Amino acid sequence: MGNYAASGGYYIACLADSILAEENTVTGSIGVFRIIPSVGGLLEDKVGVTFDTVKTGKYSQGLNVFFDIGEDEGRIMQKQVDFMYETFLKRVSDGRQLSRNAVDAIAQGRVWSGSDAIPIGLVDKIGNLQDAIKVAAKMSKSTDYRITEYPQVKNSVEQLIEDLMNPNDAETAIKLMSAEFPTWRPYLQDLHELRSAKGIQARMLSRVPVH
């Protein structure tokens, strides 16, 4: 885990066979919360817009931002949050081989540094990405392997093609390309105009030079 691997980041990592982190990695944050904003009062106070509703059932208007949440809706939301939190605790408990209560004691949204996460069982050892690769190779008993980095850096030609495919950057690409290959400019301009054109078009399939 790099600079930050908390909450969802740790949820993804917790079932791994081995977890490495940097000394200052922000991790943990094993917790769940849910927010439904209410803008009804704001709109009424600021722009004079009010809302009314006709319901066919107790919960038929659902959860929306125009009405405050009632006690019953609040209890339903809390049950959903509790369910997600218990699921999170179970994932960590299964992955780190800790009891549910032990995980709960270090969870509840708390965050830890990578160094502090080791004694409480959330991280196995301190290490960087290269260390993690070595651990993975050792665990898989692989001695002959290679590393590929993503996203791959595009070379100048690939970047030019990508710019040409994007009408917003095409003019810049045309200018740059024309400086190096001036004879290409008409064809690049045609490509840009073709991609930018809208509606029904009638076009010649070839360019006829006129002197």
The tokens describing 27, both together, are 């991790």
The tokens describing 169, both together, are 């950057």
CATH for 15: 3.90.226.10
What is the Rg, in whole angstroms, of the alpha carbon atoms belonging to the chain?
A: 29
| pLDDT above 90 coverage of the chain, percent | 46
| Residue 157 and residue 94 share a domain | no
In the chain, the number of structural domains is: 2
pLDDT(130) > 90: yes
Compute φ and ψ for 155, nearest 5 degrees.
Answer: -80, 175
**Domain that includes residue 9, residue range:** 4-48+62-139
pTM: 0.65
In a domain, 97, yes or no: yes
Mean pLDDT of 19-43: 92
| Residue 166 and residue 126 share a domain | no
In a domain, 180, yes or no: yes
Between 61 and 116, whose confidence is greater?
116
Between 99 and 183, whose confidence is greater?
99
In a domain, 148, yes or no: no
Angle at the Cα of 95 from the Cα atoms of 89 and 96, rounded to 5 degrees: 85
| Residue 208 and residue 104 share a domain | no
Domain final position from 90, 105, 139: 139
CA distance 136 to 127: 12
pLDDT digit string (tens) for 84-103?
A: 999 999 999 999 999 999 99
